[in-house]
Structure formats: structure tokens, C-alpha cells
Chain A
Amino acid sequence: MTPFDESATSPGRPPPPGADPWAQAGLALTLLAIDPRGLRGLWLRARTGPVRDRVMAALAPLALRKLHPGISDEALSGGMDLSATLATGAMQRHAGLLDNAGPLCLSMAERCPPGLAVRLGQALDTRDGLSLIALDEAAEEGEGLPQALSDRLGLFLALDGFTWSETPDITLPHAAIATAQARLGQVANGAALARLTRVAAELGIASLRAPLLALACARAHAAWRGVDAVEEPDLQIAVALTLAHRATRLPEEAPPPEEAPPEPPPDQNDSDPDSDQTPPDIPDEMLVDAARAALPPGLLAQLQAARMARAAQGQSGAGAKRKSLRRGRPMPSRAGKPGAGARVDVIATLRQAAPWQRMRRQMMPGRAEGRLLLMPADIRIRRYQDQTDRVLIFVVDASGSSALARLAEAKGAVELMLAEAYSKRDHVALVTFRGTQAELSLPPTRSLVQAKRRLAGLPGGGATPLASALQVALAAAEQARGHGMAPTLALLTDGRGNIALDGQADRAQAGEEAAQLARAIAQRAIPALVVDTSLRPKPALRMLSDQMGATMIALPRADARTLSRTLGAALGG
């Protein structure tokens, strides 16, 4: 681990703008130490390296308890302590990580499965004194913290812009933190509550947890400064540390002028009279600027990409997850019958049987001493989590004059992809459209022989029923999902639809229906690719591709080999 590691992991990214970002990072840690209950925790986005080690070293006195994305339920929420139970002959439980208050530290948080994220989130909501530091090592676009956590953790820090040489060690001032903690209860909100709520709304943050967390941050900062009411600097820090990274839009310049100046809330039950005399408020746009300044360029786009990808599961090249009895990552074993591909988890089975031995011996006298009495219900079988198989659904335009050539290339590409599919567990399906409607010419298959036979005699020519093609493709994709596969659409066409769903030649209606179906595909988060095979790319097709949320590739005169290579690359192998 050398100072050079850091520059290698963040190639040429400029340091975040702002007064002194590193000092602000230290401030965030201090605020978390002051009010872990209100702030709930910290989302620390950084690759491993000396800079992150510095932050973790500063946090070390807080006695973090570590957990990782693969943590078992028993370690998390406690369970029976088998050895102690057997030794003492009475039920002994061991506590889980969530049973005790204090800060937790989740490493590799970007790999946190949704179930764990939700349970951590629920624990943060309901158990007092629990806080979480999530170490998000997201490297690629589309990776990030699950929303169940990012929504609840108050503070956010991104360390990627810092270099080792310009970051001195951080030491948390424990005495001052204790003083601030004692003061925290007396800090009055003043107008902070209304203003932070308004700024959050202006930044397009829907969740109502955000303003509450920002308020906690502002109060902690006021207590830290040793004052009794939240003032302007506190608000700016709160916006920078808790709101900025949640923004879904940054108002460009000058917010709408009809925005009335914030008035102090009339019936604030805990505000003291002084808070009405705070100096004239700096308008909210200053706070929005604070948010803008707090964000390294490009970060917001990355966070948003991660949100989208999290929402649309299976967007990356690999298929979605599913449970399997044979292969993949191990999961907790559960009761079941061996056979039909299931393997017995011997250790878990023995653990299950152990506590009942005394009882069974009494019920079944005459069994040899020292022999384990195993019942069918004890048997535990192994389970694994696996990637689902992918289905690549080709939707090929077989209309018009150039149909024959295009169809031949598509057929070639299908066969090439199938030939390579075995190792990637890909299935391939083909929807062709011409004349009045589309048909599923080749249902999802992995059989090269069957595909060749079906593809051999496909006719071409006629009108372009694009809407019908999308409808058939959508149905095929939904069906594939129902069978536990992850579908991807690849649309090859050179024109726009001119046949409506009912088979009538009505260009306007056909376009409208195609657009509707494209949006339906986007809504279901079915990954899609549009390949424009015409000589001059058409704006109408580009629009349709955008509505579908698809990637658009222009490939005039593509041959089968180029086509299959391009598709393979676009789908992430």
C-alpha cells in the first residue's frame, strides 16, 4: 500500500471544489460522532487505499463493529448458541450485531443484497443508538449503495478526488465532541426546518427522510460551534453533507422569483424567542449553490446511474439472480429432502439434530448409546444463488426490398451467438415482422440445430408492422422472465412502422402504438438494443430507441460477424 495506489485508482479526477474539502470530511466524522442517533450514519464512497484508511483510522476510537454483505442471519440478529446450549443443558442464545447499540461498519456495501439492506434499514429505524458506516467501493457506473440504505444514512463523503499527500491525519477531538453532545438538546431549529425542507424539494429530493437528516446535521453543527440556534453556516454544511448527493436535479441559476422569503414558523413549540431575530436569511439559492459546490463534477450522474441500475434489475450484462441447488454462491441451507439434485449440508444437519438427542433417546429406548439419532426433519440441504440464463430476443425487420440480405445477416448473427452461447448460458429467440403482423419465428432455444432448421425457410418482403413486432417481443420477454430468465431485446430495422396493431395501414396510429409499446418495454426495465441498418440513420428510430430506454447503434450493411460482435460487446459479454 503506497501513496501511488491512490492516483492509480482515480485517474485524473479533479479534487472536489469548495473551501477545504478534506477539512469538511473531518467535520463530517465529527458531526457523526456528536449525533449518531440523529444522523443514522455515513455513506463513504471510496476505493480501498491510504486515504480511506486515514478516515477509518479516525473512526477507530468509536469501536466500529464490522459486517459484510454475506453475513448470516444468525450473526446479524442472534440465534441459538449450540455449544453453550449443549454444555449447560439449557437454552443459550448469542446476541446478534443488531442487538447491541453502537456504530456498525458495512464493508463492500455496493454488493449488499436487498434483503440485508432492508433489514439494516429497519434496524436503523427502530433500534435506538444504532448507526451504520457503509463503505461503498463502487468502481463502475451503475454500482452503488442499495436505496434502502442510501435513503437512511445521513452523511455522504466521496474520497476519490483526494490524494494521500494533501490529506493530513484526522484526529477526532473527543473532549469537544462531548461538550457538543451535551449542548445538542438545547439547539433551537429556528427557520432551519422549513428552509431545509424547501431546499430539499428544490433539489428534487422526494424522500422525506432527507430534510430530517439535514436538520439533525445542522443542529449537530450548531452544537459543535457552541451556539444555541441553527444559523446560516450550519445550514450550508447540512446541505453540503446530507442533501447534495441526493439531488435529482440542480436548478441552474436563479430559482423562480415568486419564491417568498422564508418566514419563521408561527407555532414552533421548541423555538426560543431569539430565533426570530436571526439575521436576514440568505436566499435559498445560496444553499442550492452550497449543494452544487459540494459535488465533484460527474458524481451526481454516477449516483443517478447507480439508482437507475438498482431499480432496473438485470440491466448489466449478466442475468438476474435466482436460487439454485447446484451451483453459484452458497446461501443458508434449509430443510428439505435430499435427491433431485439437492446436496445434504452435513454440518447444518448435525447442528439441527444435536439439541434433540436427549429427548429422542428417551422416546426410543433400546437404541445404542453414543449413536446419533437422526430424523428426516433434521436434514438440511445446500442452496446456492446463481445467475439466471439470458435470453437474447432478436426482433428482425423482414419487410421491404432489402429484407433478404438483412434477414440473412440476422440469421447468421443468431447462429454465431448461439455457437458461443453455451459457455455464457445464453438462449436465443427470433421475432420476425413483415406484411401485416409479427411472429415468434424461433422460441427461446439453445439448440443450434433447431435454430438452423427454423431459420432456413423464413420469407421476406412486405410492409413494416413494427408495433406488432414490439408487442410479440414484449410478450416473449415477459414469458422468459416468468421462466426465471433475463431477457434482452435486439431490434434490427431500417425504417418506421406503417402497419397498426389491427393490421390496417395507418402510419400515424402505427407510430403511436409503437411508441406506447416502447415505453412499456422501458417501464418493465427490459434491456434493449436498437440496430439501425439503414444507410442514413433516421431520427424517428432514434426517438423510438430513447422511448425504449435502449442503446442505439447504427450499422449500415453489417455482416453477420460484425453484428454478433457488436451485440456481444453492447450486452457486456
Chain B
Amino acid sequence: MTPFPFAAIVGQDEMKTAMVLTAIDPKIGGVLVFGDRGTGKSTAVRALAALLPPIEAVAGCPCNSAQPEECPDWADVTDKSLVTRPTPVVDLPLGVTEDRVTGALDIERALTRGEKAFEAGLLARANRGYLYIDEVNLLEDHIVDLLLDVAQSGENVVEREGLSIRHPARFVLVGSGNPEEGELRPQLLDRFGLSVEVTSPDDIDTRVEVIRRRDAYETDHAAFMAEWGPQDAALRDRILTARAALAQVRTSNVALHDCASVCLALGSDGLRGELTLLRTARALAAYEGASELTRDHIRSAAPMALRHRLRRDPLDEAGSSARVARQLAEVLP
């Protein structure tokens, strides 16, 4: 069954915007979706795959290289023609073994032909695409360490049985989880460009509409897809247009100054927050068809770009969203 269409998701505007923005500018670096059960987190991530514009890659390359000369030597790529394929969205299941993530010796070839060969893992498949971790807060520590390392260097290195393999592994991390079941380490939090919090809608009409669409999707699949498919396609076109316009969005010194002062006021660690805020605001401007980055864009982008980068304050019960809003009102009146 094709995934639930992105355009048919009712409400949850911040989550949808965040996902669209990372599709416009992958450099923003991924989304973390935290929220209660049954709020449509995983539905949205699975729907995102259909929205992503296709990429051009070498047909036989296990890590989706863009040019034949970029293919790693160990892969023995025979088919070097360029093909267009959907942006890879790779699921990283909980309980996955290290071997499957990084890749390991090809067991089949070792057995049948006694040859030493490398079998690419999930990180290779996710190169130039998305890596999706559902229930990211329950992921085992040693896998988290491994992901942090690779996400930092953009390269996966495997040393084993005299085999020394490296290949590019640049991917956008998308995670979802339920904060009640465990917190995320700050180091991993920081790797996500944006973070959004979802709650289930408390307005009855919205809830009824959610259930109605989901029910139609399940009981009358073909008709439902025929209705929403074109809207997904329109959204994809809009993303492509925004991508092209991204470089043309003018960024004034005032905007840069605004980004810096918001981050300073919030005391977010490092420069990563500022950079992400700038990129997100710019992607938002491009998405809205604006030619210049304005204060409004920064204001709308700040909560999702910064709320997971704040130091925790035990005396503040309002949560980080409220803190960001409070500082925004003060710094950018």
C-alpha cells in the first residue's frame, strides 16, 4: 500500500513545515518529532518520502554516488550509467546490529566463493538521502555513538578482516519518539537541525476529519490516492521551485544580526544554532516566494530551529517552546 499522502495530513502545521523545509535545504539537517502516541508522527515521516524530489545516481553504486568517478573502489561498479531514482529514505529499525548499519563482509560470497568482499550497510544506502529512526530515544547506545560519529564526519569507515573500507555517508536524520519513554542525549539532540513537538488536536471537528481521512485511506484506497496524489505532486513542485530560488534569497546584515541576537539571548550552545536558524529562515523565505529574508521568517523559524538547543532550567516549567517565544518577543519586537 502506498504511504498516506503528506498533503492529506490534517493540521500539525509546524511538523509539516519543518519537513518541507529540510526537503528544500537538506543542509538544515533533519527533523526530530517528539509527541504523544497516535498523533501521526510516523505517518508524516513515511509520507515525506513521496514528496522528495528524485536524485540522479550511478545505477550500480551501493552508495548512490552522483558521478561514476565518485564510486568507491571496493564496490566494483559495473553499471556506471546515470539513472534517476527516488531520494532514498532508509528505515533504521530498533535492535539493528552494528554490522547492518555500517556494512560488513559479504557472507554469501565468503561462503560460496571464498572471496573477501564488502556488503554495504544502511549507512551506504542512506547516502544523499534520509535516515529515519522511529522511537529514536530507545535506540541502543552503541548505535547512537556510531551514528554520531558518521553524521559528524560524513564518512563511514569499516576496518575488519584485513578489509579497509570507506565511503561517503551524508544523510539527513529524521527521528520520532515519545518523550515519556526516555530522553535523548544532548549530543544526539544537537545533530537534528529542527525539532517539533506534536500533540493530538483537541478540537472535535479536526479530530473527526483526521479519522475520516484515515478511514477513507484504508477502506477506499484508490479513490483516496486519486484525490490527494495531485496535491502531493503540487507540493513537490513547490519544493523544487523553492530549491531553485534558495540561492537568490537576499540576506541582509540586519537579518544576520537578528539571528545572532536571538541565539545569544537564548544562550544556545555553539554556532550550530545560529547557522541552522539562518538556513531554516532562508528556506522558509524561498518556500513562501519571498525575495528577501525578513524578520518574520526568522520569527517563525526560531522555535523549531532552537528549542532543542537550550540549556535545561529546572525552575522553568513552561518548556523550551515558551522560552523561545518569550525571548523572541523581547529581542525581535
**A residues whose Cβ falls under 8 Å from a Cβ of B:** 38, 73, 76-77, 80, 85-86, 89-91, 114-115, 118-119, 122, 125, 128, 147-148, 151, 185, 189, 193-194, 196-198, 200-201, 206-212, 215, 265, 268-270, 310-311, 313, 323, 334-335, 355-356, 358-359, 361-363, 375, 377, 471, 474-475, 478, 513, 516-517, 519-520, 523
Contacts and interface: CB of A to CB of B under 8 A. Distances in A.
Contact of A359 (B97, B115, B212, B220): B115
Interface residue range, chain B = 35 or more
A212 B214 contact: yes
A474 B313 CA distance: 11
Contact of A517 (B202, B207, B314): B314
B94 A115 contact: yes
A73 B95 contact: yes
B181 A197 contact: no
Interface centre among B105, B107, B219 (most CB of A within 10 A): B219
Contacts of B219: 185, 270
A356 B314 contact: no
Given A115-B138, A207-B200, A358-B114, A193 B38 contact: no
Contact of B134 (A122, A363, A474): A122
Contacts, number: 148
Given A270-B216, A377-B160, A520-B314, A358 B208 contact: no
A31 to B, nearest CB: 17
B98 interface: yes
Given A73-B95, A208-B200, A361-B114, 18 more contacts: A89-B111, A115-B95, A119-B93, A125-B42, A148-B135, A151-B38, A197-B208, A200-B207, A209-B38, A212-B211, A269-B220, A270-B219, A335-B98, A355-B110, A356-B105, A356-B107, A516-B315, A520-B315
A193 B95 contact: no
Given A215-B215, A270-B216, A523-B317, A208 B115 contact: no
A293 to B, nearest CB: 24
Given A115-B94, A208-B210, A212-B211, A471 B111 contact: no
Contacts of A211: 207, 211
Contacts of B134: 118, 122
A311 B142 CA distance: 24
B237 interface: no
A521 B242 CA distance: 46
Closest 6 CB pairs of A and B: A207-B38, A91-B108, A209-B38, A359-B110, A520-B314, A151-B37
B116 interface: yes
Given A334-B98, A359-B116, A210 B111 contact: no
Contacts of A38: 218
Contacts of A147: 37, 178, 180-181
B70 interface: no
Nearest to B42: A125
A478 B218 CA distance: 46
A122 B41 CA distance: 12
Interface string B100-115: 0000010110111011
Contacts of A208: 38-40, 200, 207, 210-211, 214
Nearest to B219: A270
Given A115-B138, A209-B37, A269 B114 contact: no
29 contacts: A76-B95, A77-B93, A77-B95, A85-B107, A85-B111, A86-B111, A91-B108, A114-B182, A118-B135, A119-B95, A128-B1, A147-B37, A197-B207, A197-B208, A198-B204, A200-B207, A206-B37, A207-B36, A207-B200, A208-B210, A211-B207, A269-B216, A270-B219, A311-B180, A355-B110, A356-B161, A358-B110, A475-B314, A516-B317
B315 A206 contact: no
A194 B215 CA distance: 12
A197 B215 contact: no
Contacts of A114: 138, 181-182
A359 B110 CA distance: 5
Contacts of B322: none
B200 to A, nearest CB: 5
Interface string B119-135: 00000000000000011
A363 B116 contact: yes
Contacts of B215: 189, 193, 212, 215
A471 B37 contact: no
A471 B95 contact: no
Given A118-B134, A208-B200, A375 B161 contact: yes
Given A208-B207, A270-B220, A334-B98, A118 B317 contact: no
B211 A193 contact: yes
Nearest to B139: A115
Contacts of A118: 94, 134-135, 138
A76 B97 CA distance: 14
A215 B141 CA distance: 40
B265 interface: no
A188 to B, nearest CB: 10
A149 to B, nearest CB: 10
B314 A359 contact: no
B220 A362 contact: no
A356 B110 contact: yes
A206 B200 contact: yes
A362 B117 CA distance: 14
Contacts of B97: 73, 334
